[in-house]
A and B are shown apart, each in its own frame.
Chain A
């Protein structure tokens, strides 16, 4: 009899975020399927191929996607959207407050623009805030990460949308300069403005996750 638990662990490694219980449940399903096929008279190799096919290729992709979708969307408003909104508000507020105080700052240059150094330092804190708020509402690790990433994801989507609209409206070769100028006039710097803050926020979410785990163990 094949070691189905080991096979499931290897095949759906990407579901490391899911519980060992789920792995065991999938393994039990495969075990039953394999035995049923054997009882129908299939040879061991053929039955194994049929069974393992349920977590390979397209089936495997679907399983991962459906699992992540269910995981992310259960209690989306309290566990993801509200913490993400607060993360976003905290980032905007800190940016604005420090700007108003006219604190002299160094800037970091990104592709096409600049942002103050202190804001980068604050971003992991904002990301950690989102993840912790999500955890307090019973959110999973995935939902905590989503809460810290959602503001940047929305921003990236908006930047992309503005690019597409700008391209459609301008319709000529130098659309990039035109749209970039428009975005910079709005205080939005593509493309690092969305992606780099996302990485910094995610770093904060990771720190929050590790610190929570450490405190639980202690």
Chain B
């Protein structure tokens, strides 16, 4: 599987995380795991890229985080999408759509 350039990955990370959190709240490890699984390993987040980004989203009030105690007694910090974060998804999607369409016009590549 081809690897993705770090700059592209960084740009797409926020959309990927917000979209995942729109479905249900998740903690950091689950977010990383689900993105890796759903993209077949193309997008993979290590701690250095995931947590600073989650904290940035939290500061922007796009997500909020709360400590929760799991059934096994362990504490995990769960991230939940806020109303403000939910409104960001559509513009981000539109930006990426425009980007891919422009790229398609230039390179002739087709989406699968």
Contacts and interface: CB of A to CB of B under 8 A. Distances in A.
A74 B59 contact: yes
A69 B52 CA distance: 9
A28 B76 contact: yes
Contacts of A21: 67, 77
B47 A26 contact: yes
Interface string B2-32: 0000000000000000000000000111001
Given A62-B48, A66-B48, A29 B55 contact: no
B28 A66 contact: no
Interface residues of B, number: 19
A33 interface: yes
A28 B77 contact: yes
A25 B74 CA distance: 11
A32 interface: yes
Nearest to A21: B77
Contact of A28 (B28, B33, B55, B56): B28
B76 A70 contact: no
**Interface of B: prevailing SS:** helix
A65 to B, nearest CB: 8
A171 B79 CA distance: 58
A55 interface: yes
Interface string B41-55: 000001111011001
B28 A29 contact: yes
B34 to A, nearest CB: 12
B27 A28 contact: yes
A63 interface: yes
28 contacts: A21-B77, A22-B51, A22-B55, A25-B28, A25-B51, A26-B51, A28-B29, A29-B28, A29-B29, A29-B47, A29-B51, A31-B74, A32-B29, A36-B33, A54-B46, A54-B47, A55-B47, A59-B46, A59-B48, A62-B48, A63-B48, A63-B51, A65-B48, A66-B49, A69-B52, A70-B55, A70-B56, A74-B56
**Interchain residue pairs A-B with the least CB separation, the first 7:** A62-B48, A32-B29, A63-B48, A70-B52, A66-B52, A29-B29, A25-B77
